[in-house]
Amino acid sequence: MPTKAYAASSPTSSLAPFTLNRRDLLPTDVAIEILYCGVCHSDLHQARNEWSGTIYPCVPGHEIVGRVTKVGAQVKRFKPGDLAAVGCMVDSCGVCKSCKRGLEQYCEAFPTWTYNGQDKHLGGPTFGGYSDAIVVDEAFTLRISDKVNLAATAPLLCAGITTYSPLRHWKVGPGKKVGVVGLGGLGHMAVKFARAFGAHVVLFTTSPRKVEDGLRLGAHEVVVSSDANQMAKHQRSFDFIIDAVSADHDINAYLSLLGLDGTLTLVGAPEKPLPVAAFNLLLPRRSFAGSGIGGIAETQEMLDFCAEHEITSDVEVIAIQQINEAYERLLKGDVRYRFVIDMASLRDA
């Protein structure tokens, strides 16, 4: 099925119009007209091969919200006209220990990513949501409430679940003091979730201009991390810290803020290894962990939670023709806090 898209043809090329083929529907497949697609920082990394291994042409996009147009004969949960969503994965082995636990994101045979993965049906790379439509197995298709803002919901499929999953796993809730490092696409969702879960939330930012925004988004306190006095006030006091920074930074400054048995979980992806001082872990028995996205069941739980509690991302909606400009702005941190592409701009072109 020929499908309009935008693709990068090399690490140095701009994204440009491209036509890809979607597979014909299999019995358990759902065809979705894409209405909105969020722009994740990983899209930029992949398009420019900054993590290596990008397969070209590359059609990014894994924060997909749309409307079902067709379903396979065996599909039970969707019908044409329903709203649906697709996140970072479109398949997994289904039989390993992780998959059987509903943790497809940690599939031992490796999940099939929504883009730049290995397409098991057509061969070659998978193509993502910077496109007019997508075909996905029902098992990896998510339900969306018809009462939500669709554009502001799209980033939940990556930025949302990437922060929701570790906060749930480490049982963040009432009585817990939680730190959020970095106020960007991930960090602003972490603040919203931690506050909704009932924790005392402290945001750490390098930018004094983000203090007001942090409080608006739900933080009880905002600390400018370059201020040594502000940092010193919080020594050994946190139960949990979620670090959403992908740039190089001093992880030890935040490890020292954890109390006994506290955990710092990294969800950002710095390019270079972060040096860790041994005694920052040994005393007083701290943990330094990492977390990926969530599984399909947990992602559905997150979407339902957000619909019930009216939680969405703060977004700036753009046309697909503005994607290269958006990438440059993303590099400068010039977005509050997620770009979302209105895919009608692709169909109308």
pLDDT at 296: 98
CB of 106 within 8 A of CB of 126? no
List, in sequence order, every beta strand (DSSP E) within 45-141: 64-71, 83-86, 89-91, 112-113, 133-137
Q: How confident is the model at residue 253 (pLDDT cuts 50, 70, 90)?
A: very high
List the chain domain ranges. Answer: 2-158+312-347, 160-290
pLDDT of 170: 98
Question: ∠ at Cα 141 (135, 143), nearest 5°?
Answer: 130
Rounded Cα gap, residues 62 and 47, in angstroms: 13
At 271, the pLDDT band (50, 70, 90 cuts) reads confident
Average pLDDT over residues 46-70: 96
- Supply 156's token pair: 């939940």
3-state secondary structure 156-214: HHCHHHHHHHHHHHCCCCCCCEEEEECCCHHHHHHHHHHHHCCCEEEEEECCHHHHHHH
Is pTM beyond 0.85 here?
A: yes
CATH assignment of 2-158+312-347, among 3.40.50.10310, 3.40.50.410, 3.40.228.10, 3.90.180.10: 3.90.180.10
From the list 128, 139, 159, 145, the residue with the least C-alpha distance to 40 is 159
The stretch 6-28 carries a mean pLDDT of: 97
Q: Are strands 16-21 and 2-7 parallel, antiparallel or unpaired?
A: antiparallel
Q: Convert the pLDDT of each residue in 76-107 to its tens digit.
A: 999 999 999 999 999 999 999 999 999 999 99
Binned at pLDDT 50, 70 and 90, residue 53 comes out as very high
Does the pLDDT of residue 334 top 90, yes or no? yes
- The predicted-structure confidence for 202-229, as pLDDT tens digits, reads as follows 999 999 999 999 999 999 999 999 999 9
Distance separating the N- and C-terminal Cα atoms of the chain: 19
> Domain 160-290: which topology?
Rossmann fold (3.40.50)
The yes-or-no verdict on residue 174 having pLDDT over 90 is: yes
Burial class (CB in 10 A: 0-12, 13-18, 19+), 336: middle
